[in-house]
Structure 1
Amino acid sequence: MSDDQQFCLRWNEFQSNMVSSFRHLREEKSFTDVTLACDGQTCKAHKMVLSACSPYFKALLELTILQENPSKHPIIILKDVPFNHLTSILEYMYAGEVNVAQAELPAFLKTAERLKVKGLAEVNQNDRQDR
């Protein structure tokens, strides 16, 4: 047997485990490192998840890192974002799906477009990362 031989080790349940783990981390608020605020309410999230799902959040979070006094746990205030849209968008980001009432769908998608949520909004080619 050659020492050069490579073996591919694959975790068969990787995707479902990651989704389950993300949901658990969100529910438990474990390791959260950013707070999102709108409509006078707040919720905690993870920079990595926000950045992976939205070039808008990625650019915003990169700006906080580049500032002279970057906060380890920034608070991002979102103007003109209804809190119920934010919580639904976070559910979508963490779980890959969300239920939205038909009557609420156009406004929800408009919010997702403003926040450049991948899979819900048109993302400019320059904003896209390799998937």
Structure 2
Amino acid sequence: MAPEGLKASDNLLLVRWEHHEVEMLQQFCRYFANNAFVDVTLWCQGRSFKAHRILLSACSEYLERVLLEQPRSSVDPVMVVVHGVELGHLLDLIYRGEVRVSAGELPRFLECARILGVRMLQSTALRICAALADTEADPAEGQLVRSSTTEKQV
């Protein structure tokens, strides 16, 4: 059956935005970095984190429930009781798809993600790897330069 307003004899063309998901997430990441269009503030142990309701809700079962219960017009911050460092790392994971945590922080980070119902933990695509430093000193310039990141699965 043809979409409304079209006849079966009309030639339909598909218009596709290649890499839509990647480009949209990159744009959200830019907004996050610049605090642009943020519409929720999370408070943890005296630290505040500004973010986007739609992205938090898509990635966390707990935050989805909390944000659905909070009126959209409310300017009150959402209170989240977890350690601020882990929340900061979780926001990095949500917005960038990756985060670097020390081996010592990993258990607390994963527990925080579990408490918040972060959906990525249920994904078979979630990997925890040892990552080598992604920057190195350029002795000629005295500046840091990006080198390729090598990951080793642990």
TM-score, with length taken from structure 2: 0.69
Structure 1 stretches (4+) deviating beyond 6 angstroms?
none
**2-structure distance, mates of 1:33, 1:72:** 10
Letter of the 2:41 partner, please give it: T
Q: Which residue of 2 aligns with 1:31?
A: 37
Q: Secondary structure of 1:35's partner?
A: strand
Residues in 2 aligned to 1:29 and 1:96: alpha-carbon distance in whole angstroms: 18
Alpha-carbon distance, 1:3 to partner? 4.8
Aligned-residue CA RMSD (Å): 1.8
For CA contacts below 8 A with separation 6 or more, give which structure has more relative contact order: 1
Structure 1 pair 35–44 and aligned structure 2 pair: CA distance change class (3 A): same
1:19-44: CA deviation from partner (whole Å, max 9, x where unpaired): 21011000111111110001111011
Q: Which residue of 1 aligns with 2:136?
A: none
Gaps of 5+ in 1: 123-131
Q: CA deviation at 1:121?
A: 5.1
- 1:4 match: secondary structure: coil
Question: What is the match of residue 76 of structure 1?
Answer: 78
Structure exhibiting the larger radius of gyration computed from Cα positions: 2
Q: 2 CA distance for matches of 1:74 and 1:49?
A: 18
Q: Distance in 2 between matches of 1:76 and 1:16?
A: 28
1:42 matches 2:43: no
Q: Provide the C-alpha distance between the structure 2 equivalents of 1:47 and 1:25, rounded to a whole number of angstroms.
A: 13
State which of 51, 60, 67 in structure 2 corresponds to 1:61: 67
SS at match of 1:103: coil
Q: Per-residue deviation at 1:105?
A: 0.7
For residue 8 of structure 1, give the secondary structure of its aligned residue in structure 2: coil
1:1-20 to 2 correspondences below 5 Å? 3-20=9-26
CA contact (8 A) 1:33 1:74 kept: no
**Structure (1/2) with the larger strand percentage:** 2
User: 2:87 — aligned with what?
Assistant: 86
- Contact conserved, 1:38 with 1:82, CA < 8 A, in 2? yes
Q: Percent identity?
A: 34
Task: Tell me how far 1:82 sits from its aligned partner.
Answer: 1.1
Query: Partner letter of residue 55 of structure 2?
Result: V
